Amino acid sequence: MDGQKLKILIVDDYKPCRDASILMIEEIFAKPVELITADDGLEAYEKIEAAGKESVPFGILVTDYNMPEMDGCELSGLVREMHPSIKIVMISAEIPTQRPDYIDYLVRKPSTFETLERVFNKIIN
């Protein structure tokens, strides 16, 4: 990424889950990453659009499924359409019956460190 930190957007309306994701992701990545958070899908989409305009796009989107304003599936579909290079990881207790094509990885809450480590290692390697 041309010496830039990998930007990861973590989206969850439940702050303790966002905080847990931050701690696990920081532990997984050997080099520093830039972690940004959003409370819902609409806020997340606005941050993704703004980052794209600044030419510093997000590399990974980590999103919950059930959120106010815009759910994780709607967010993921828009992101995939507008920014196809962003890897999308959905982590949720409520997951769709089938994984939509626009979601790269689907992880059920509560997730373990080992599960997230496997997912992120697949993304970065």
72-82 helix and 41-53 helix, angle to the nearest 10 degrees: 20
pLDDT tens for the chain, 125 residues: list them: 456 789 999 999 999 999 999 999 999 998 889 999 999 999 999 999 999 888 889 999 999 999 998 999 999 999 999 999 999 999 988 876 777 889 999 999 888 999 999 999 999 88
Three-class DSSP category at 108:
strand
Closest CA to 8 of 81, 71, 70, 91: 91
> What pTM does this model have?
0.93
Neighbours of 75 (CB within 10 A): 29
Query: Which structure tokens are listed for 113?
Result: 């460190």
Asked if 105 and 41 count as a contact pair (C-beta separation under 8 A), the reply is no
CATH numbers and ranges of domains, the chain: 6-124 (3.40.50.2300)
Nearest to 13 by CA among 41, 35, 36: 41
